[in-house]
Structure 1
Amino acid sequence: MAVGAPGCWRANISWQLRERDRNQKQRFQAIIISYNQLLEKSDFLQHWWGKRNPYFPYVSSPSPEPETRESQQQRYREEISKLQLINGELAQEVFELNKDDRRKEVELQATQNRLAELLDRLGELEAERQELRTRVADLEQANRTVKEEYDALQLQHQEQWQQLRTRELETSELIHNLLHLKAQEAQDLNNRIEKPLRAEQRSLQKDLAIASSMPISAKTETVHQGLVVPPQEVGQKGDRSFKLRWGTRSGSFGLPDQPKFLQSFKGFFRMRSSASCSEIDFGYSSVFYISRVPVRVRHSVSAHDGEVNAVKFSPNSKFLATGGSDTKVKLWDVVGGTLQNRKTLEGSNDGVTSIDFDSSGQQLLAGSYDNSARLWSLRDCELKHTLSGHSAKVTAAKFKFYFQEVVTGSHDRMIKTWDLNKLACVKSLPVPSRCSDIVCSDYCIISGHFDKKVRLWDSRSGSQTDVIALQEKVTSLDINQDRTQLLSCSRDDLLSVMDLRMNKVRKELRSEGFKCGADWTKAIFSPDGNYAVAGSSDGTLHVWDVLTGDVKASLSGEHRSSINAVSWSQSGEYLVSVDRGRVANLWTDY
């Protein structure tokens, strides 16, 4: 009968009953057979015993001898007892089997019910599985679509990144060319300015030579103040003379009356006077040179008896200073690409942590582990002042820009401003964390701290103006020449270039091999601000392009220990790096 036809359920029930009867019959078939055999034997014995026993209803044979009959009856009774005992055991076994069968039937019914429930659940799970397969197919299709869009965007990003790189390189090249043109224009302007001066000097020398070859007459005059030139006729050949009166003495000299000579003389002194004022106002040349990326060590020297912590070029790039843990500050002349020891400044009671020159290059300031900062005069290389007042080591000591003031930062969570005229602390700023480095810009003080923050302070009011958060503790700060960008080095092996006009990080400089070796590792800008340089813990010197963020050079093999500090000369020609192994290396690009 086909499935689904009328009466199919009856056939199914009948088939199930037959199967159950067959399974149960197979279980008890052997017991039933044995039981039937025993019943047959019992019937046979009863029939046979009836024939042999006259008292038994079925016994028809004559009684045997009394003795034999009794013994046989006894034996038969024993056999019957045994058979009855066996029959009772079998009946008990049958009862137990029936009981077990009923229990099995109950379990079978529960199992069938459970099976039906599981079949229903299986149907639900199959439906859910089919739905999930449909959803997976839809998600795979959507994922393929998203991946195609991502690949297209990635390709577009690579193209735009390449275009950006090309534009940045073009911009860098244009800036380089512009700086070169500016430098050339400045040189041409200097030549044009100096050309009339040289012509006037040559004319003056010629006129002086002519004047020195002519006769001079002098006589004492009445004392007057100032410079008077009254022309007179002297001599027999129409020579002219003029009188010079200055201070308490005066003389009258016979010189040729040539206006050109007087103009040259006045112009020469006017140019000299102008040059002297320029030197007094600025202290050093304001011409910025293009920095050149170093390629090799020109000279290496063991600078100190211990770890070298600080190094700084003078503003005129003629010499540099180094400070070490041996409590000394050493001055070095740069002569022909070599470092020659010039002088040793003594007076510190502990290791030197930082070095700074004033704008004229005539004073040197150094911070120390002995909780103070010291000021030396480079005219006579004598210690002039000791600035003490911190309760922990001074990690940074800097001259304040354009002012006769000094700013110091310390691990005692204080930033102090010192007046060099009064030789006293005029302002103290409490800070939330240990100070690692300081830079000064006009009326702003910028400090780096161990709590992963760079703080900007108004030096006039002493209030905090802004905070820039970084990822790890700050080890150093440096500011470029035009005071618009700040460079920080931190313990997460990262250099950050910050725009001080917006007070946020503009560029992050990374290098695969760069590892910040200490809490006082220094990183600096190049004089033109185009590059940043820092030393790694493995003794490798890394140079980055600030505009693009690319690593321009990774110079290794010269230092055998962690580089602590670097300094780039204002001329852009030399770079000096110092390390924990007492070594100072002078780098050049040739």
Structure 2
Amino acid sequence: MATEGAESWRKHIARELQHRDRLQKLHFEALILSYNQLLEKSDMVQLWRDRCDLHSPSAPSPSPEPESVANVQFQHGEKLTKLHQANGELAQEVFELSKRYRHKEGELQSAQSRLAELEVKLGEMEAERQRLRTRIEALEEANRAVKEKYDSLQHLYHAHWQKLRTQEVEGTELIQNLIDIKAQAAQDLNYLNEKPRRTKQKDLEKDLAVVSNVPVSIDTDVFRHEPNEPPEGAGQQESKSYKSRRSFRSASFSLPTHPKFLQSFKGLFRKRSNTAYNEVDCSPSNICSLARVPARVRHSLEAHDGEVNAVRFSPNSKILATGSSDRKVKLWDIVGGTLQDLKTLEGSNDGVTSIEFDPSGQQILAGSYDNTARLWSLKDCELKHTLSGHSAKVTAAKFKFYVREAVTGSHDRTLKIWDLTKAACVKTIPVLSRCSDIVCSDYFIVSGHFDKKIRLWDCRSGIKTDEIPLQGKVTSLDINSDRTQLLSCSRDDVLKVMDLRMNEVLQELRAEGFKCGADWTKAIFSPDGSYAVVGSSDGALYVWDVLSGKLETCLVGQHRSSINAVSWSLSGEYVVSVDRTKIANLWADC
């Protein structure tokens, strides 16, 4: 076993030596070969020199002297030393060149491997390029097909558009003809309704003519002595006047008892009484003669589950409506200076942006973030109509001066006029900017926009009649009860009072500390038009005197966030302000 172990050990050493020999031989094989070649060349040169010395005519004799032989050997030794030195330098140069060769060979191998990788990658990229080119050709083909389809649809659209315009013109003419027909029918109906009245009037005139010809009988025998008769001895003139008064009071006036005559008088008085009743029903119950500036909060509460955006008093000042981002419109009853929850109107699919009562106080119109406006009836608190047609949120929804029509403004850069009896849009007015608020009357519409301009429109033609530039985005508009002055609020923290008859600015209302808190902050006139009120971003309530332009009061400490809207009751007694933190405050003068 020991002999076998020693034998294997010797074989292992021999293999390792052979391996080292092969490795070293590979490293120095070229060097050794070059060195051997140099030695051979050196021997050949030495041999050639020796032969040259033997065959030269001045060659020494075969028996040279010892000194000359020593000199020749010394010279040959120096030459041999120089040759050995040159051979060593050449060997070193060969070694350096071999080393550089191996380094270059390694670089060449790495370059070849990298080139192979790049060729593989180039093949992949070429395949990807071919795939992308095929996809581009497919997309171009699909694009051509889509373009052809688009062109055909465009032509079809233009054809339908021309047809629509023609139908709109025809529809407008038909509507105008229908309006004319209805107007003529109304005139005919009024004529027929007035015919009995005219007949009664003629009968009454005849009866009065008959009465004028009937003699009046005065019974003078009914004279009685009364305790307050003047005493005896009074003046004769006084007695005569007294007797004449007594005689007139004692007289009995007799009229004919003609049934038609009495019926005419009964009908006349009945008609007057009914007319008076209707006039009372249509007019607000509380008319403000002098607004009272608020001084303190009478009641404060959390009105909604979200930010309160709008607030409005009813025409009789007894009901308050609030709209919020919680999609609800709430009705509040004011009892003893407090707000009592009365009813909740539901049906909106998104937050409420504006609220408006109709002049009779029987309907509410509200704009919403869901691109619609909704009309509720307060008799049964049911949703009557949903006015849909805008493509962006409705920021303002207002009744016209009469209840049959309404106007809405939206962020889709349009104003729409609606027929509330049909819940249909009768006119669309395109605008160059998003609308923030509107006010309107029978014949004109005023709109405020984000491009810092107020525009006046003719309701009948839909044509812009005037334009008023401001220094900031318009956030709200309000009009006084006489419809002669316009109040605007803008993001440059300025309220402006303008004369609508002259289209000129009367007052610029400013105050230190006032800052408009949002793009929907609402400023309003007092019911008598004497004051302007608005809420600030810091929760303060500012009231200005419109006539003088001076700040009347600034109420602070009741709101903790920006006030979005305010409303002043038509009775002039209360002011309500709402803010972003769901709070509603009821203000009074004491």
Shift of 1:513: 1.4
- Which residue does 1:316 correspond to in 2? 316
Give, in whole Å, the separation in 2 of the partners of 1:258 and 1:349: 72
- Which residue does 1:565 correspond to in 2? 565
Give, in whole Å, the separation in 1 of the partners of 2:493 and 2:385: 37
The secondary structure found in structure 2 opposite 1:278 is helix
Report matched runs for 1:119-518 at 5 Å. Answer: 272-279=273-280, 282-285=282-285, 287-518=287-518
Shift of 1:269: 5.5
Q: Could you say if the C-alpha distance between residues 269 and 509 of structure 1 is closer, same or farther in structure 2, counting changes exceeding 3 Å?
A: same
Q: Could you say if the C-alpha distance between residues 496 and 273 of structure 1 is closer, same or farther in structure 2, counting changes exceeding 3 Å?
A: same
The secondary structure found in structure 1 opposite 2:437 is strand
Q: Could you list the per-position Cα deviations for residues 33-56 of structure 1 after superposition, in whole angstroms to 9, with x for gaps in the alignment?
A: xxxxxxxxxxxxxxxxxxxxxxxx
Give, in whole Å, the separation in 2 of the partners of 1:286 and 1:539: 30
Q: Could you say if the C-alpha distance between residues 267 and 286 of structure 1 is closer, same or farther in structure 2, counting changes exceeding 3 Å?
A: farther
Aligned length: 332
The secondary structure found in structure 2 opposite 1:521 is coil
Q: Give structure 1 stretches of 5+ with no counterpart.
A: 1-256
Q: Could you list the per-position Cα deviations for residues 85-138 of structure 1 after superposition, in whole angstroms to 9, with x for gaps in the alignment?
A: xxxxxxxxxxxxxxxxxxxxxxxxxxxxxxxxxxxxxxxxxxxxxxxxxxxxxx
Give, in whole Å, the separation in 1 of the partners of 2:453 and 2:254: 68
Give, as a single letter, the amino acid of the residue that structure 2 aligns with 1:409. G
State whether structure 2 residue 527 is matched by structure 1 residue 531: no
TM-score by length of 1: 0.54
Report matched runs for 1:95-110 at 5 Å. Answer: none
TM-score by length of 2: 0.54
Q: Could you list the per-position Cα deviations for residues 452-481 of structure 1 after superposition, in whole angstroms to 9, with x for gaps in the alignment?
A: 000000010000000001000000000000
Give, in whole Å, the separation in 1 of the partners of 2:373 and 2:544: 32
Shift of 1:276: 1.3
Report matched runs for 1:569-584 at 5 Å. Answer: 569-584=569-584
Aligned-residue CA RMSD in angstroms? 2.1
Q: Could you list the per-position Cα deviations for residues 277-314 of structure 1 after superposition, in whole angstroms to 9, with x for gaps in the alignment?
A: 3135x342584321000000000010000100000000
- Which residue does 1:548 correspond to in 2? 548
The secondary structure found in structure 1 opposite 2:277 is helix
Give, in whole Å, the separation in 1 of the partners of 2:449 and 2:314: 27
- Which residue does 1:588 correspond to in 2? 588
Give, in whole Å, the separation in 2 of the partners of 1:497 and 1:582: 30
Q: Contact 1:515–1:536 (CA<8 Å) still a contact in 2?
A: yes
Give, in whole Å, the separation in 2 of the partners of 1:277 and 1:259: 35
Q: Contact 1:439–1:446 (CA<8 Å) still a contact in 2?
A: yes
Q: Contact 2:286–2:317 (CA<8 Å) still a contact in 1?
A: no
- Which residue does 1:71 correspond to in 2? none
Give, in whole Å, the separation in 2 of the partners of 1:561 and 1:342: 26
Give, in whole Å, the separation in 1 of the partners of 2:289 and 2:320: 18
Q: Give structure 2 stretches of 5+ with no counterpart.
A: 1-251, 256-261
Give, in whole Å, the separation in 2 of the partners of 1:294 and 1:461: 42
Q: Could you list the per-position Cα deviations for residues 348-395 of structure 1 after superposition, in whole angstroms to 9, with x for gaps in the alignment?
A: 000000000101000000000000000000000001110001000000
More helix as a share of residues: 2
Give, in whole Å, the separation in 1 of the partners of 2:254 and 2:307: 66
Q: Could you say if the C-alpha distance between residues 519 and 267 of structure 1 is closer, same or farther in structure 2, counting changes exceeding 3 Å?
A: same
Give, as a single letter, the amino acid of the residue that structure 2 aligns with 1:561. S
Give, as a single letter, the amino acid of the residue that structure 2 aligns with 1:499. D
Give, as a single letter, the amino acid of the residue that structure 1 aligns with 2:279. S
Q: Contact 2:407–2:417 (CA<8 Å) still a contact in 1?
A: yes
Give, in whole Å, the separation in 2 of the partners of 1:274 and 1:564: 42
Give, as a single letter, the amino acid of the residue that structure 1 aligns with 2:522. K
Give, as a single letter, the amino acid of the residue that structure 1 aligns with 2:378. L
Q: Could you list the per-position Cα deviations for residues 543-586 of structure 1 after superposition, in whole angstroms to 9, with x for gaps in the alignment?
A: 00000011111000000110000000000000000000000000
Give, as a single letter, the amino acid of the residue that structure 2 aligns with 1:465. T
Give, as a single letter, the amino acid of the residue that structure 2 aligns with 1:384. K
Shift of 1:275: 2.3
Give, in whole Å, the separation in 1 of the partners of 2:424 and 2:324: 26
Give, as a single letter, the amino acid of the residue that structure 2 aligns with 1:490. S
Q: Contact 1:289–1:570 (CA<8 Å) still a contact in 2?
A: no
Give, in whole Å, the separation in 2 of the partners of 1:571 and 1:500: 25
Shift of 1:272: 3.7
Q: Contact 1:333–1:341 (CA<8 Å) still a contact in 2?
A: yes
Q: Could you say if the C-alpha distance between residues 267 and 335 of structure 1 is closer, same or farther in structure 2, counting changes exceeding 3 Å?
A: farther
- Which residue does 1:194 correspond to in 2? none
Give, in whole Å, the separation in 1 of the partners of 2:392 and 2:275: 47
Give, in whole Å, the separation in 1 of the partners of 2:524 and 2:254: 55
Give, in whole Å, the separation in 2 of the partners of 1:259 and 1:569: 54
Q: Could you say if the C-alpha distance between residues 428 and 588 of structure 1 is closer, same or farther in structure 2, counting changes exceeding 3 Å?
A: same
The secondary structure found in structure 2 opposite 1:373 is strand
- Divergent runs of 4+, >6 A: 257-260, 262-268
Q: Could you say if the C-alpha distance between residues 589 and 271 of structure 1 is closer, same or farther in structure 2, counting changes exceeding 3 Å?
A: farther
Give, in whole Å, the separation in 1 of the partners of 2:287 and 2:549: 26
Q: Contact 2:329–2:352 (CA<8 Å) still a contact in 1?
A: yes
The secondary structure found in structure 2 opposite 1:461 is coil
Give, in whole Å, the separation in 1 of the partners of 2:254 and 2:436: 65
- Which residue does 2:93 correspond to in 1? none
Give, in whole Å, the separation in 1 of the partners of 2:288 and 2:254: 40
